[in-house]
Structure 1
Amino acid sequence: MKSWEYIIQTRKEHIDFINKIVEAYDGLGNVRTLDNNEGLIKIITNSYFVEDMDKAIERLRKKDIHIEILEKREWLGIL
């Protein structure tokens, strides 16, 4: 099964909330902070959950959580 990663730009104050939401969906994905000051994060998931991750991101956007997907790609193997 392939893994996928989302490189996301958000607001610094939204990082923890996004992390908690992704963690609340058991097994949906793992959030890694790439640059706290710039609000740059990575979410890693597997191909089974890609559609669910897309839906979760859309739900967060509807709740006024700023999420800009900079890149969605097959996981490069770097945490």
Structure 2
Amino acid sequence: MLKSWEYIIQTKKENIDFINKIVEAYDGIGNVRTLDNKNGLIKIITNSFFLDDMDKVLVKLKEHDVFIKVVEKREWLGVL
């Protein structure tokens, strides 16, 4: 059974749109929601099928000097 997961991520304000575009480029891998634009806090919602892929995307972004700190990775709490 597929479960939904969410990543709570700290980044720089100027990275939010770029991260969103990268995640959108991988059709269906996840949805990015901005929690606090001023402080660079976002949420990425995905499902258990894409967890490994999402982890790889985040690692690749870090390798390209995009500041990403995964604050929490958990089952989705049901809040967009």
Same fold (TM over 0.5): yes
User: Over aligned residues, Cα RMSD in angstroms?
Assistant: 0.2
Q: Counterpart in 2 of 1:57?
A: 58
Cα shift at 1:40: 0.1
> Aligned residues: percent identity?
72
For structure 1, the residue ranges without an aligned partner over 5 or more in a row are none
Amino acid at match of 2:8: I
Q: Counterpart in 2 of 1:78?
A: 79
Q: Counterpart in 2 of 1:48?
A: 49
What is the TM-score with the length of structure 2 in the denominator? Answer: 0.98
SS at match of 1:26: coil
Amino acid at match of 1:10: T
What is the TM-score with the length of structure 1 in the denominator? Answer: 1.00
Moved over 2 A (4+): none
Paired with 1:67 and 1:73, the residues of 2 have a C-alpha distance of 17
